[in-house]
Amino acid sequence: MKKPIQENKICIVKYKFLCNKKSFYGCALLTIEIKDYSLLNTIGIISFNPSVYEINLNLPYNEIEKLICKYKLDKGTNFLLTEKFYSSIKKLNKKYIEEIVNGNIVQLTKIVSEIISISEDNIKNKHEIEKVKLAQMSSEKFISNIENIQENKFYIKTKPVFDQQKGMPVYKLNTKKQIECEVTDKREIAQYIIKLLYGNNKKFVYGKIHEITKKNDKFYELNVSITPVIFTKFIVEKNQKIKLYR
């Protein structure tokens, strides 16, 4: 039987990097059991979005975790490099994990260097290390669900916003247009994702038309990308005028 983790033996490593030469920005949280230097959990991102590097490492664990998930759902995430980042960290042996716990994060920067194919001299990084009690560790309810979305499409329920004066008829729409949608999804995870992306009480969102399918002579199905991984779709009558993004 595995022994319970001692209350004062958890180490949180907060790490972020930027590589201006390739416009890559990353952030990661490593949760380590100090007693045997085992990696308990990792969450991270590699992105083209510079806001990722602006994440304040002095924030509490769960706040940084939410920000990482927010940016993973939005534009700029490189899912292939992020997955490689995870995979490489999981392969670290106990010697390197011990070094990281003691403040030597060379191995993390080396991993980034290898993944994005650039010398370590071109990578700027910062880190914070905290030793906490297990009781202080907490994650939001849907973080694991968001982590599992990765490159897969996650659909939320919405309905189009109509504008009979200034809107565009459905049959004239194309995949270059952005339209306004009203969020109608009552599922907890859908509400959480919208809150994560836009803050509280966000009812209307804009999305780019990803695909238009003519169902018959009267109706069309619109598949709309709200972010690269968050989608919505609905069927509308061809003459209805939908509000466009201005």
Tally of domains within the chain: 2
Statement to judge: residues 18 and 137 lie in one domain:
yes
Statement to judge: residues 143 and 191 lie in one domain:
no
Pick 174 or 150 by higher pLDDT: 174
Last residue of a domain, one of 147, 164, 186: 147
Statement to judge: residues 124 and 191 lie in one domain:
no
Tens digits of residue pLDDT in 175-189: 999 999 999 999 988
Statement to judge: residues 30 and 103 lie in one domain:
yes
Tens digits of residue pLDDT in 95-144: 999 999 999 999 999 999 999 999 999 999 999 999 876 655 555 566 66
Statement to judge: residues 173 and 93 lie in one domain:
no
Distance (Å, whole) CA 176 – CA 17: 34
Statement to judge: residues 214 and 105 lie in one domain:
no
**Is 220 inside any structural domain?**
yes
Statement to judge: residues 232 and 192 lie in one domain:
yes
Average pLDDT of the residues in 149-169: 88
pLDDT at 5 over 50: no
Last residue of a domain, one of 102, 128, 147: 147
**Is 213 inside any structural domain?**
yes
Distance (Å, whole) CA 52 – CA 120: 19
Domain extent at residue 113: 10-147
Tens digits of residue pLDDT in 18-76: 999 999 999 999 999 888 899 988 999 999 999 999 999 999 988 999 999 999 888 89
**Is 169 inside any structural domain?**
yes
Statement to judge: residues 139 and 158 lie in one domain:
no
Q: What is the DSSP annotation of 85-125?
A: HHHHHHT--HHHHHHHHTT--HHHHHHHHHHHT--GGG-EE
Statement to judge: residues 136 and 19 lie in one domain:
yes
Distance (Å, whole) CA 107 – CA 30: 13
Statement to judge: residues 128 and 174 lie in one domain:
no
Statement to judge: residues 21 and 141 lie in one domain:
yes
Q: Confirm if 167 and 242 have CB atoms less than 8 A apart.
A: yes
pLDDT at 239 over 70: yes
